A and B are shown apart, each in its own frame.
Chain A
Amino acid sequence: MTKTLDAPPAATARRRKRFNLTRWAQGGGLHAVLFAVPVVLVYVYFSWGPVIQGLILSFQKTNLVQPAEWVGWSNFTYVLADPGLVQASLNTGYFALLALVFGFPVPIILAVLINELRKYDTLYNALAYLPAIVPPVAAILLWKFFYDPDAAGMFNTALGWIGLGPFPWLNAENSAMSSIVLYATWAGAGSTAIIYIAALATVRTELYEAAEIDGAGIWRRIWHITLPQLRNVIFVMMLLQIIGTFQIFTEPYLFTGGGPNNATQTILLKIYNYAFVNGDFGAATALSVLLAAFLGLLSVAYYFVTKRWSTT
């Protein structure tokens, strides 16, 4: 053992130069490659295959029954000229913004509060996570009842007790998107909070003890210890949330079908409609490619911006 370690670097280099294919194969190299081949092929076929297929489709006119026909950039010009695209992009951006401003802090606050609890924290953990267990379709159907625009609707009845409403919720252009954000926050906060709680467990307790000795109250402890310690997790979660919100589909699809008057029409809903309502798979993949490119650029930009924040 020591001998190998002590061998001069020059000797190692010489040995590497004399690469012998037979010896490599006999030494298990070939087997290793063959061993890996199926995994790589399966990965390429099932993971990268659809991505490349999608790219190809975006330049074709096809209904997948008739032979495909190359149409160049025509699908891209069609989706970019679609009068509904601007509205869908604005709606998606609006949803992402609302979700970021109102929805993003909720799980952090939830996690910090649960973390501060000395008793029954497991119970509160479970309660916070509960909405994540309800399947989205079931939860959305439930919330449709809550959002009943009638004065007898559940939310409207509750708000009526304090003299508010009745509100149209999903049935008005200006309140439909915020209603969806409210639901999405309820549905998503629990699972995100769990991640924050896990991250909080790694914050060293001495920091808090030291702060307490220095006379810091709860808010100062959160501001000066908890949040800085969570910074990296927060950045990652924010990126994931931004990407997730740009891909919002289930909620507008099930709540409003994109209405009223396209107020909740999103990019992904448009992609879905191109493909499965219109049967225009070329247009659907073209818009998907554009969305993927945009999200890719956004992720890179986000990475560099937050990297600078992290180091300063």
Chain B
Amino acid sequence: MNKRIESLRDESLRATNRISPERADLITRFYREPETAGFPVPVQRGMALLHLLQNKKLYIGKNELIVGERGPAPKEVPTYPEVCVHSLKDLEVLDTRPKVSYKVDQETYRLYKDEIIPFWSGRSIRDRMFRMLPDEWKQAYSAGIFTEFMEQRAPGHTVAGEGVFRKGMNDLIREIDEAVARLDFLNDGKALSRSEELTGMRYACKALIVFAERYAKALEGLLAEEEDRDRQNELLDMISVCRRVPAQAPETFHEALQHYWFIHIGVITELNPWDSFNPGRLDQHLLPFYEKGLADGSLTKERAKELLQAFWIKFNNHPAPPKVGVTAQESNTYTDFCLINVGGLKADGTDATNELSFLILDVIEEMRLLQPGSMVQLSCKNPDRLIHRAAQIIKTGFGQPSVFNTDAIVKELMRQGKTAEDARRGGASGCVEAGAFGTEAYILTGYFNMPKILELTLNNGVDPLTGIQLGPATGDPGDFRNIESLISAYRMMLQHFINIKISGSNLIEQIWAGQMPAPFLSAITEDCIVNGTDYNAGGARYNTSYIQGVGLGTMTDCFSSIRVNVFETRRFSMDELLMMMKEDFSGYDRELAQLIYETPKYGNDDDAADRHVNDVFEAFFDAVDGRRSPRGATYRVEMLPTTCHVYFGSKVNALPDGRRAGKPLSEGISPVQGADRKGPTAVIKSASRFDQIRTGGTLLNQKFSPAFFKDDEAIRKIGHLVRAYFRLDGHHIQFNVINASTLREAQANPEKYSNLIVRVAGYSDYFNDLTPELQEEIICRTEHENE
């Protein structure tokens, strides 16, 4: 990288994560204005965005090429009190905690104490939600049966489609005006609400134009003082870029990147949507601009690379908005889950890889940044060169890029009812979530703790951690005569709590739809304008709600253990097993060793264990898939944990597979940590035993020591391994290339390893930012050493 990029990158890496009160202050002032209350909610939201972008401080870094920050400076993170208002205690925790801290200054504390908290307490979405949710939901939530994504962050989980790069705000405003003109008050009972929504969208699009114009002016100010000739020319370019985009559709490579970036800032300023926002298929979207620039001589490959690198740094400047409570425990990271997609298929079904795919991979390798995350979409139609290049970067050991199976994603999306073209325009975002980019609101509603359900089943509905009868009495465990009767009781218990979860999500969804629409995100998501309906209310072409199952490996091993040890070999009776679990196996070393080492385990391509992976998956699938939500979405399942398996594990006592109380559950669809003893091919075979096509994403982690990647031939074998998994319909695989002794060393001497990035679960993180439990777990994940 050149000097400019190096210094911008350094600046980004060195910046301290801070809470900025700017947005909270501006939004509070806006809502305090007496006239605000007079507007319909969607119009308020559009006006709010205009107010924010009109008044927020602008930031232009030294020698920056792409401009725009969400906060007043890099890594200064705003808050969203209308969604979730941080208490003074929350701020203090964020300020002082050793991991993933956000510094809070005195002025912020004061502002929160005097202005923000008094105004928003009881009015925030979170407060409203918790007021309305029934006790049974709250009880299950506190017991760690499920989490709820939308209690402090807005629905998001979506990705820009190609339309974003083809239209300017003026085009969208024209579409909005046309939609308003088409409104039919004679026949359409919802015409008024559509009109309000469209008005909100119009304000939001205007807000972006105003924001860019402010930047143009600020750049003019800099130009007046700039003495360096080259920089003067750059500033002139940037001024003209900011005067064109995002008002008009971009025409050059530089404009396309700046255009997207303004839109990105718009989305993440409007609200704090989950998974930030994401340019998605960047090598596809940028190709026309790249080719045009090369052809007319206005762009070189080097310049394109520099602009991409500058673009990369902008993502790294934007840590996730700080979370609180359970959500912070389940997903505690600076990463905000942008996932750039490279490769895959074109809408017509042909190989999409192009020169830019490889240029972007070069950028990923060179930038080595936490954000944005990156992945390679690999279809059977893509060349081996793509996976080979990806494996070379994986080898460098910062957990990127992860690898996704395009053909599986397309099948998953088509099963859900997308057209083939829309499915191929999609990919994966966040951790591993399949989505039709630009056309789908695919909202993750929360993680679901499957082993907790088993624990309740084995205690006839009583939570052993609290003694509370939490679920229905599904039968005395001593009365189960075979594994089938246990599984059928488990299914009853599962359905009970899935119903509670879905009722809660339906309620929460309606609160968002009615009280906190997102007119800007709606304007850029296909069909929201045509439908005159908000993204949060089902306006997108496709609408999905996910529940993410956690603990597949743990569950499979538990069923295997009970079947083999209680019903087949009769090594223990059910009562004996339950008693040992109650004692957390203390005093039962030999029995514990037998449960761990002499019981068939998932991850070894052993039918004796793996047959139960289908019991676990099908039960979860049947309980969730196909249910409808009020906004017209369909509930679907995913199998991914982020870091929730650690939190969930803390809520579950000892289990029949020999896992002790409080320890993490298995993550994603990976085997229980250390239970896979037959290498990566066996893990892949086990993981492909259930039908991944009926999910919206699964996560499989594999850890390799650097020694494995010693030469080109070995790297090719990684490619073969991936291809084989994908032939078996595997959705995603990611590799951690690091040896356990390095990690131990890093744990002991964090100061020496401040830049050590590891793959966690669908994203990478600094090893030092992980909690000790998570560090321990990463070390324990089986290392596939090869002799």
A and B part of one assembly: no
Where the two chains meet, the residues of A that have a C-beta atom closer than 8 Å to any C-beta of B are: none
